[in-house]
Structure 1
Amino acid sequence: MLPARIPYRKVNVVPSQTASICIPPSRVLLATDLADLTHILPVAIAHALKCNAELKLVHVLPDVNTPDVDPTLLVCANPEVVRHYAETVLENAAKEARSAGVNCGWIARPGLIVPTIREIVQEWNPDRFLVGSQGPHKFQLGILGSVAEAIFREIDVPVLAIGPEFQHNPHSASQRARILFATALDRASRTTIRSVIEFAKAHNANLTLLHVMPMVTKAHPSTSRARAYAERFFQEILGEIGEKGLRPTCMIEFGPVVETIHRVAKSGRFDLIVLGAVSGAAFRREIMPGTAYGVLCGAPCPVMVLKDASERRLIPVAS
């Protein structure tokens, strides 16, 4: 005898990040290990000023009661000394932001990094999440190690990542921004492209759509078919926009994906790279280095990372 079927209802458990980027953020959360503040705080301040957003700095203090705490902290640091140092650095950074005209506060909380950040995200409900790094070694082991794997997968907020190759230029804010959207032209791309176009319009920015085709002999029949598909896809997008809308530049390039994105971003002096419909698997350590990982590590500008479109799951209806 088969068990009785339990009624289920479908609910959206992850809001669409591609849609949310079209709305200027009112709350920006910056996660810092304190050492990277000089590198990413100017970006966070500029972003908050441009969007008239509140800025919150968050630092996760090591919890000596957790089993995976760094043993050196147990020997070399008094928890109260560590807390006092963190609070001093955060307050000085918040003062710098306030002096620039940004409403800024901070949180220093002990615990495991990812669960604590997730907890703060749920409490404060930010519209953007900023994370960064100072150098390639720290970037790979810290930001894009196990911490990033969970942050990009679990936090349902568009992430703005500041890589080690980025150099902040305060004068660039006076110029019209240039946005590069690297797209795979897959099923989710059409919706994401529409949202990125609206995002560019909201920021009065120039937009370039880039599709990178892998290194295959250009004369190969499959190459010509793939290029024809990409050209047709872009023409359809431009046709939907019409003559009055923002008309992006469309590029089709051949080569290794990560290196080509970096080359185009550097030569075009872009201010932002957008990666759309990135899955959580793209940041899993066992399959690194992936495209998203490589782009973040070597990007000459900030990278906005959007997760897959809304996920849905079945939830039992309470009886």
Structure 2
Amino acid sequence: MVETFRKILVPLDGSEHSRRALRYALGLAQAQNAHVALLHCLERIPMLIGGEPRIELEKELVREAEKLLAPFAKKVRQLGIEPALIIKEGQPGEVIVQEAKSGDYDLIVMGSRGLSALQGLFMGSDAHRVLSAAHCPVLLTR
């Protein structure tokens, strides 16, 4: 039996690796008539920042994330697929795994490295976290 994918989750951070991952995801989505969701993870705001400054910072981070996702969403729409746009706060590896499970995604397509490649050398990469904990297949691209 051939495995098919209905829902594909694509985490994006703006890195070249994530751009390549989107190209793979779009090829699969077109071939299998799958739904595509674009996910961007926001870093947590330190608890020291509160009140109105925190609210304004949250709004600004969401605006920046929307700007980052806009050109990717445009590429998806050009192929006749309406993407879901998801912006969540937290550690990317954890957020990706949680979103994939709660959204009942069949596949995660992501870059093997993101913008935080140096951090990955010392703490373990987000890709490794996702591979270790995801409930569904994960396609890592280079």
Tell me which interval the TM-score lies in, with the shorter structure as reference length: 0.7 to 0.9
Report the equivalent of 1:236.
71
Any stretches of 5+ residues in structure 2 without a counterpart?
A: none
- 1:192-223 CA distance string (max 9 Å, x none): 42442232111211111111111115926554
Determine whether 1:301 maps to 2:136. Answer: yes
Q: 1:240 to 1:303 in 2, by over 3 A?
A: closer
For the Cα contact (< 8 Å) 1:185–1:230, is it kept in 2? no
Higher relative contact order (CA 8 A, sep 6+): 2
- Tell me the residue number matched to 1:209: 38
**Shift in Å at residue 291 of structure 1?**
0.8
Letter in 2 for 1:291: D
Following the alignment from structure 1 to structure 2, what is the Cα–Cα distance between the partners of residues 241 and 295? 23
2:96 to 228, 240, 261: 261
Question: Aligned in 2, Cα 1:303/1:251: closer, same or farther, shift over 3 Å?
Answer: same
Secondary structure class of the residue paired with 2:33 = coil
Moved runs in structure 1, 4+ residues, more than 4 A? Answer: 220-223, 240-244
CA distance in 2, matches of 1:290, 1:244: 31
**Distance (Å, rounded) in 2 between the aligned partners of 1:239 and 1:200:** 15
- CA deviation digits over 1:156-176, x for unaligned, max 9? xxxxxxxxxxxxxxxxx5xx6
- The residue that corresponds to 2:85 in the other structure is 250
Cα distance per residue 1:291-312 (max 9 Å; x no partner): 11111111111111111xxxxx
1:107-166 deviation per Cα after TM superposition (whole angstroms, max 9, x unaligned): xxxxxxxxxxxxxxxxxxxxxxxxxxxxxxxxxxxxxxxxxxxxxxxxxxxxxxxxxxxx
Displacement of 1:244: 6.2
Separation in 2, partners of 1:202, 1:288: 36
Distance (whole Å) between structure 1 residues aligned to residue 33 and residue 62 of structure 2: 30
* In 1, Cα distance between equivalents of 2:19 and 2:125: 22
Contiguous gaps of at least 5 residues in structure 1 = 1-45, 51-172, 308-319
CA–CA distance in 1 between the matches of 2:76 and 2:107?
22
Instruction: Provide the alpha-carbon RMSD of the alignment.
Output: 3.0
Which structure would you say has the larger Rg?
Answer: 1
2:22 is matched with 193
Aligned residue in 2 for 1:56: none
State the secondary structure of the residue aligned to 1:278.
Answer: coil
**Structure 1 counterpart SS, 2:36:** strand
Change (3 A) 1:275 1:205: same
How far does residue 247 in structure 1 lie from its aligned partner after superposition?
1.8
Residue 292 of structure 1 aligns to a residue whose secondary structure is helix
Given the two structures, how large is their TM-score scaled by the length of structure 2? 0.74
Q: Secondary structure of the residue that 1:301 maps to in structure 2?
A: coil
Report the 3-state secondary structure (helix = DSSP H, G, I; strand = E; otherwise coil) of the residue aligned with 2:13. Answer: coil
Identity of aligned residues (%): 29
Deviation for aligned residue 1:188:
5.0
* Separation in 2, partners of 1:212, 1:187: 16
Counterpart of 2:109 (choices 251, 274, 289) is: 274
How many residues were matched structurally? 133
The offset of 1:264, in angstroms, is 0.6
Q: What letter matches 2:74 in structure 1?
A: G
Q: How does 1:43-58 map to 2 (within 5 A)?
A: 46=1, 49-50=2-3
* Aligned-pair CA distance for 1:278: 2.5
Determine the C-alpha separation between the residues in 1 that align with 2:65 and 2:41. 10
Change (3 A) 1:244 1:295: closer
